[in-house]
Amino acid sequence: MKNLSRYVPVLYVTFLMIPIYWLLNMSFKTTNEILGGFTLYPHNFTLASYQTILTDPSWYSGYINSIEYVVINTVISVAVALPAAYAFSRYRFLGDKHLFFWLLSNRMAPPAVFALPVFQLYSQIGLFDTPWAVALSHTLFNIPLAVWILEGFMSGVPKELDETAYVDGYSFPRFFFRIFIPTIAAGIGVACFFCFMFSWVELLLAKTLTSVAAKPIAAIMTKTASASGYQLGLLAAAGALTLIPGAVVIYFVRNYIAKGFALGRV
């Protein structure tokens, strides 16, 4: 029984890692090997798939597009959410609780609901097939999320800190940027992380609102067949590369996420 308690987590992690292993496994195989039979590891090890992705603009532009709209989205969402969250955490105003809930309720609608109106609107005003189109449509979900996370962190800062700063002579903007923002840096990190995550993995809006010029990697990756037939090795390599930005971001915010949980948010 004692050993079992050690094996269970090992088994669990192994189980979780199987799809990722299989993805990596495939990415180092040739398409022939993938389709040819069941092999546990690449017999004809090749980096050709990665080479294609990193040199062919039709592949790597997908990453650039994705990163572009994810960054734009994260910056807009957090920049807009900061003052909003400050207002919710510091002031009482008419209907503040309802407004806060209404913001959150935006997250309850499936993105598919917004796909058609946003597509039609952006086509009309010439935003279609630009990174801005995807970034702006994602703010619909990310601003409420960021406000909610930041409000939690801000409410954890006593309002006496604000008052002390004013007493010490700080003007509001100076206090906000020099003291308040550094104080809730962890919260901003967590909010950025969640905005990034949502925007990075969201497929439906990203796919609907782009055609060629701003096509995100997730859209490119999920087209199974191309003119040159099945390219499963290539798709697998693209998938493996798509995991990297997420892993990098998680590495940087791993300590803050725990803090976010401790504050009852996230």
Question: Can you tell me which of 9, 95, 158, 173 binds other proteins, judged by CB under 8 A?
Answer: 158
Q: How far is the CB of 158 from other proteins (least distance, A)?
A: 6
Residue (of 198, 82, 84) closest to 135 by Cα position: 198
Question: Can you tell me which of 60, 121, 183, 245 binds other proteins, judged by CB under 8 A?
Answer: 183
CA distance 200 to 245: 9
Q: How far is the CB of 188 from other proteins (least distance, A)?
A: 12
Can you point out the beta strands (E) in the chain? 225-226, 229-230
Nearer to other proteins, 46 or 183 (CB): 183
Residues in the interface with other proteins (CB under 8 A) total 17
Tell me if 176 contacts other proteins by CB under 8 A.
no
Question: Can you tell me which of 9, 57, 169, 264 binds other proteins, judged by CB under 8 A?
Answer: 169
Question: Can you tell me which of 109, 161, 201, 250 binds other proteins, judged by CB under 8 A?
Answer: 161
Tell me if 71 contacts other proteins by CB under 8 A.
no
Nearer to other proteins, 132 or 170 (CB): 170
CA distance 74 to 79: 8
Q: Which amino acid is at 243?
A: L
Tell me if 165 contacts other proteins by CB under 8 A.
yes
Three-state DSSP at 116 gives: helix
Q: What are the Cα distances from residue 250, in Å, to 54, 148, 245, 255? A: 23, 20, 9, 9
Nearer to other proteins, 182 or 229 (CB): 182
Tell me if 163 contacts other proteins by CB under 8 A.
yes
230 DSSP β-pair partners:
225
Nearer to other proteins, 91 or 168 (CB): 168
Tell me if 6 contacts other proteins by CB under 8 A.
no
* Cβ contacts of 98 within 8 Å, gap of 6 or more: none
Span of 9-17, 61-69, 82-90, 155-163 interacting with other proteins by CB under 8 A: 155-163
The per-residue DSSP string of 8-67 comes to: HHHHHHHHHHHHHHHHHHHHTS-HHHHHH---SS-SS---HHHHHHHH-HHHHHHHHHHH
Tell me if 168 contacts other proteins by CB under 8 A.
yes
The structure tokens 């058609």 sit at 116
Nearer to other proteins, 90 or 107 (CB): 90
Residue (of 101, 62, 102) closest to 222 by Cα position: 62
Question: Can you tell me which of 37, 95, 173, 182 binds other proteins, judged by CB under 8 A?
Answer: 182
If you compute the radius of gyration of the chain from its CA atoms, what whole number of angstroms results?
A: 23
Q: How far is the CB of 178 from other proteins (least distance, A)?
A: 8
The structure tokens 């002579």 sit at 169
Residues of this chain that interact with other proteins (CB under 8 A) are 158, 160-161, 163-171, 174, 179, 182-183, 185
